[in-house]
Structure 1
Amino acid sequence: MWEEKVSVKGPYHFDSALLRLARDPLHIINEEERSIKIPIYKEAPEIADIQAIGTVNEPLFLVRGKNKDTKHLIMERISTIFQWDLPLGDIHSHFSKTALKEVFEQHKGTPIVLEFDLYPALIRPIIHQQVNTSFAISLTDQFVRTFGYEIEGVPFFPDPKTVSGLRPDQLKDLRFSRRKAEYLIDLSKLLSKGELNLKNLAEKTDEEVIKELTAIRGIGPWTAQSFLLFGLGRKNLFPMADVGLQNALKKLHKLDRKPTVKDMEAYTKEWYPYLSYASLYLWRSIE
């Protein structure tokens, strides 16, 4: 066993992040203890535990694991997932001069938390396409619990090789549409054959990633942007086709209709280069 204490520059509202993550039953969270168990995806998967012991303005965390040989890798991965190296105070100051000032005050210090691995970061938005949020969460939960695995009660997504070997009917039994089932299986075949490498995408620009991913059947701009935001942690993403963002802007600006793309382009000009945080805080404003 090992334990590491980590200090992060405030503000950092871990409890707000946990509240958002707790909507997904695949996340093993103890809100009273302010902790979450993280699946670490690697050749020999393992679990890490994060507990907040500090405050929003003076964040402090305990990270625990079992294998001392992988401690450095786990600490690096967790720091990336929870964006501990990004000073949220600078982002807050930026938005204090914009139309999102009050939204950022209300949710001050809420971080973007990345998906725990790149493969889930790409297949989750495919599962979420064109269905409401509660059904999408249920569908993802069934998919993982049926075809994935658990370690110490923590669910892991199945790997691409496992999914590539499924038949569409197996996913249809979980209430997937046949088309969506085919998207997941075909994508997983590309990954398992090495024809698509998600880690290599991290070296490419946003535009290059979107171009490469949208060439794949079943992946449109919204899915590619979601992968960039929650998979690769890109800072300047605003998925304009996202219904939640459209509704949040409608509420913010007291519109009698959803904003047009031209409207959104005008609104977002003052939010560069942190559009991803504008996206997160607008989502938080209607959740």
Structure 2
Amino acid sequence: MRTQDPVLQRLIDASPDLDYHAWRATLPVSSLFEALLYQIVGQQISVTAANAIYARLRKLLIGVQRAPAQLAQVPVAELRGIGLSARKAEYVRYLAQRTAEGALDGLEKLPHEEARQRLVALRGVGPWTADGALLITYGHADVLVSGDLVLRKAVQRAYELPDMPTEQEVAARGEQWRPYRSIAAGYLFESMLSA
């Protein structure tokens, strides 16, 4: 990875002690189900807003010890009351129902691409949500969440691009980082924090 990409080599040299897995420990999730909820909440909103809404969702879940089957029965109005849009509230209920039915069972045993395909078949779960949740939960070294806005900004900044790259352009650039695309993204994210 270092020898194939001089820009990434510079980022690695700038943060030689980066613990790629440390950020996962800071997230308030303990399962794939929670990681998917976290990603759904974070779709197309700022990190600050997503964290606030997810904290309220977690309080709602923990406060009454709700399992997925019980969460599926929470009225949309109650979920909207914690800050979810009507559509995201529906996605949360749907995901909870499908989880209770076993839709997430066994995904930890599948290769990333197969697990991703099963997740994107669920309503409200697109590639960004699936990749992010799988990365958060399992920490695979070769997952690139190429549609992530912060990652796209990091690529633009690090590579001194005049325009923010598209998801497809980030994915294409990421091919040279295989089989460590997640780790490469970690250095790119880190470069944004130290900017």
Q: What TM-score range do you get, normalising by the shorter chain?
A: 0.7 to 0.9
Specify the code of the residue in structure 1 equivalent to 2:128. W
Per the alignment, residue 190 of structure 1 pairs with 98
Cα distance in 1 for residues equivalent to 2:156 and 2:10: 15
1:210 offset after TM fit, Å? 1.6
Gaps of 5+ in 2: none
Name the TM-score, length of structure 2 as normaliser. 0.86
Q: Bigger relative contact order, structure 1 or 2, given CA contacts below 8 A and separation 6+? A: 2
Aligned partners of 1:214 and 1:221 also within 8 Å: yes
Gaps of 5+ in 1: 1-93, 151-156
Cα distance in 1 for residues equivalent to 2:167 and 2:94: 32
1:243 offset after TM fit, Å? 0.6
Q: 1:232 aligns with which of 120, 133, 138?
A: 138
Aligned partners of 1:121 and 1:231 also within 8 Å: yes
Q: Which structure is higher in helix share?
A: 2
Aligned partners of 1:248 and 1:286 also within 8 Å: yes
Aligned partners of 2:33 and 2:104 also within 8 Å: no
Specify the code of the residue in structure 1 equivalent to 2:58. V
Name the TM-score, length of structure 1 as normaliser. 0.60
Per the alignment, residue 47 of structure 2 pairs with 133
Cα distance in 2 for residues equivalent to 1:241 and 1:262: 8
1:262 offset after TM fit, Å? 5.1
Per the alignment, residue 251 of structure 1 pairs with 157
1:242 offset after TM fit, Å? 0.9
For residues 42-74 of structure 1, what are the alpha-carbon distances to aligned partners after superposition, in whole Å with 9 as ceiling and x for unaligned?
xxxxxxxxxxxxxxxxxxxxxxxxxxxxxxxxx
Residue identity over aligned pairs, in percent, reads 26
For residues 250-269 of structure 1, what are the alpha-carbon distances to aligned partners after superposition, in whole Å with 9 as ceiling and x for unaligned?
10011121113453244223
Cα distance in 2 for residues equivalent to 1:162 and 1:262: 38
1:166 offset after TM fit, Å? 0.5
Matched residue pairs, number? 186
RMSD: 2.1
Change over 3 Å in CA distance of 1:126–1:254 after alignment to 2: same
Aligned partners of 1:96 and 1:104 also within 8 Å: no
Cα distance in 2 for residues equivalent to 1:100 and 1:118: 30
Q: 1:278 aligns with which of 171, 184, 195?
A: 184
Cα distance in 1 for residues equivalent to 2:171 and 2:101: 39
Cα distance in 2 for residues equivalent to 1:149 and 1:105: 45
Q: Which structure is higher in strand share?
A: 1
Aligned partners of 2:40 and 2:88 also within 8 Å: yes
Larger radius of gyration: 1
Q: Does 1:161 align with 2:69?
A: yes
Aligned partners of 1:142 and 1:174 also within 8 Å: yes
Specify the code of the residue in structure 1 equivalent to 2:2. F
Aligned partners of 1:122 and 1:231 also within 8 Å: no
For residues 54-100 of structure 1, what are the alpha-carbon distances to aligned partners after superposition, in whole Å with 9 as ceiling and x for unaligned?
xxxxxxxxxxxxxxxxxxxxxxxxxxxxxxxxxxxxxxxx4366321
